[in-house]
Amino acid sequence: MSDQRGHLRLPIKINVDFTSDDSVRSVFSLNMGAGGIYLVTHKPLPRGSMVVLHLNLPSLDSAVEVLGEVVWSNLNPDDNNGLPEGMGIRFLNLDALVKEHIGLFQSARMGNA
């Protein structure tokens, strides 16, 4: 599996609610960066699915809403280096504030690495 991301992703476990086709699900993230997020779920959506994410970033008081597109679904952890079942989502409309908070989170994590 090649990594085609244009942005660094770091491990983070946050609660994420997402809506797709009028259903709401609550899952946890595995990693996140300015370009997207990986969500752990036993029922990943197909590639191309559009989702509305509600991200609970540690540095913000309330969840932020972000539009995303599923760019990768992982149904077989054995074929993907043990990565848990889930889906990679590309952010489509991050505003400057959310990008700043993701950057702050990444800087803090890299400083503690």
What are the structural domains of the chain? 10-111 (2.40.10.220)
Which structure tokens are listed for 45?
A: 């959506």
In tens, the pLDDT along 71-95 reads 999 998 888 778 899 999 999 988 8
> At 75, is the secondary structure helix, strand, or coil?
coil
- Report pLDDT for 21: 84
Give 52 or 97, the one with higher predicted confidence: 52
Which structure tokens are listed for 17?
A: 């609610």
Cβ neighbourhood burial of 30 (10 Å; 0-12, 13-18, 19+): middle
State the average pLDDT over residues 15-37.
Answer: 92
- Report pLDDT for 19: 94
